[in-house]
Chain A
C-alpha cells in the first residue's frame, strides 16, 4: 500500500473504538442482550488494523448518520 493510505481516513469509514468492560456491561444491560447477540466484525477487518482488539472484544462504531447526525453501533469481534 502507498505510504499515505490510512483506512480510518477514508470518507466511507466511520470511527471505530474499543469498548471497555464497564461500558460493555452498560450497553448489554440497556438492550437486554448477551455479547453473542451483537452483529459481528471480523478480526481481519481493515478498519480494525490500528485498534488493539482480540476475538471476543466489542468495538463501538460511531457512524455519521443522515437521519440522526451521529449513531453508535456495536459489533463483536469474531475470528
Chain B
C-alpha cells in the first residue's frame, strides 16, 4: 500500500483504498482519500438506525414478486433444485432437512479433466444391494434366496461378492444368514422366521434390496458436468463429512447447499458465508436486486449464537432477553405463562416491549439519553 494511504487504513475499508490507489494519480492520493473519507462517513448508516427493519422490508418486498413455486425444467441436464421463495424460506427458517440437498463436488487432477470421472462418480453414489443384483432366486424348499450379481456392475465398483457379503451381513443379521457361494450370495432365513415361511422370505427379498453396499450414504444421484474447462460432479443428496474422506475430492472448493452440514463440517463462519451465497443466488436468478448488506445482516443474526438459528419462534426469537418481545412474535400465552412460572424480569431494553408500553423506543433519536453537567 502507498504510504500516503496508510493513515486511512483504519478509517476506510480495504476495497475503497485499493480502488483509490488504482484510479487516482499518485501525487493526489492523499487529497482523494480525504474526500472519499468525507463521503464515506456521510454515507455510513447512523448509530441507532433500525437496520433490521430496513433489511426486513428490503428483502420482503422483492420477495412478493418471486415465483411462488418451482418449475420442472424438462430436458435440462442440470437437476431440479428448489429455487425461488420456497428455497429462501427454507434457508431463513434454518430447516434441518431441506427439500433438495445437493453437493457440488470439485475434483483433483486428473479427475477434473474428465479422466476416470465415471469411476469417481460411481464411488460417490450410494449403491444398494438391489443395484448390483441381476437375479434373485427364491428357494422355497430351503427358505433361502440366491443372489446373482451383475458382473459388469460390481467390477465397475471394484467390489467382489465376498466383500458385499461382509458389508450386508450386519444390517441383515436379525433376518438372515449370509453365505458366499461362487459368484453369488445366499441369504438363508433365520430359524425363528422359518415358521412364517414364504411371507418372511418375500419380506427378506424386498428388505435386502435396500441394504447399503458402497458409496456415500445419502447420495442418490450423481451427475458429472463440465463447467468452463473442468469437470465436476453435482449430486442429489448431501453428505459432506463422508465425502471429504475420499482422496480424489478437492476439499477446498467442494460445497453443499445444506447449511447445517456446512456448519458442522466447516464451522459457523463458513455457514454464515453459505447463507449469504445461497440467498443471494436465489435473489439474483429471480432477477431481483437486493443489496447484499441486508442478507449479511440476516446471516449475522442467524449465526450469532455460534450455531444456525432460523428466523422462527424456536430460533432467534427464543434467544431474545425480553419476555414481552418473545410474546409479541408468536404463541404469546405460552411465553407469558412460562415467564410467570420462572419469575422472569423484563428490563425493557429493546424495541418491541417499549412499543407495547407506549414508551420511547431505544432506536434512532430515542437512543441517546440526556446527560447534564452539574454546576459547581
Contact surface of A with B, Cβ cutoff 8 Å: 1-7, 9-14, 16, 39-42, 45-48, 61, 63, 65-71, 73, 75, 78
Contacts and interface: CB of A to CB of B under 8 A. Distances in A.
Contacts of A13: 266-267, 269-270
15 contacts: A3-B247, A5-B245, A11-B252, A12-B266, A14-B270, A40-B305, A41-B268, A42-B307, A46-B266, A47-B269, A47-B270, A61-B269, A63-B273, A70-B14, A75-B268
Given A2-B246, A45-B267, 17 more contacts: A1-B245, A2-B245, A2-B251, A6-B251, A10-B252, A39-B304, A39-B305, A41-B306, A42-B268, A46-B266, A47-B266, A47-B268, A47-B270, A67-B293, A68-B13, A70-B15, A75-B306
A67 B247 CA distance: 35
A9 B266 CA distance: 10
B244 A40 contact: no
Interface string B278-318: 00000000000000110010001001111100000000000
Interface of B: 13-18, 244-247, 249, 251-253, 255, 262, 264-270, 273-274, 292-293, 296, 300, 303-307
Looking at A5, A41, A61, which has the most chain B CB atoms within 10 Å of its CB? A5
Contacts of A66: 292
A78 B292 contact: no
A40 B305 CA distance: 5
4 cross-chain pairs, A with B, having the tightest CB-CB distances, nearest first: A69-B15, A69-B14, A47-B267, A68-B13
Contact of A10 (B14, B270, B293, B304): B270
B292 A46 contact: no
Residue from B270, B273, B306 having most chain A Cβ neighbours under 10 A: B306
Contact of B265 (A11, A40, A46, A78): A46
Given A2-B245, A4-B247, A11 B269 contact: no
A58 B264 CA distance: 20
Contact of B251 (A9, A45, A70): A9
A13 B269 CA distance: 6
A46 B253 contact: no
A2 B247 contact: yes
B306 A48 contact: no
A4 B251 contact: yes
B269 A16 contact: yes
Given A40-B304, A41-B306, A69 B245 contact: no
A66 B300 CA distance: 15
A5 B246 CA distance: 10
A48 B267 contact: yes
Nearest to B241: A1
A5 B255 CA distance: 13
Nearest to A49: B267
Nearest to B245: A2
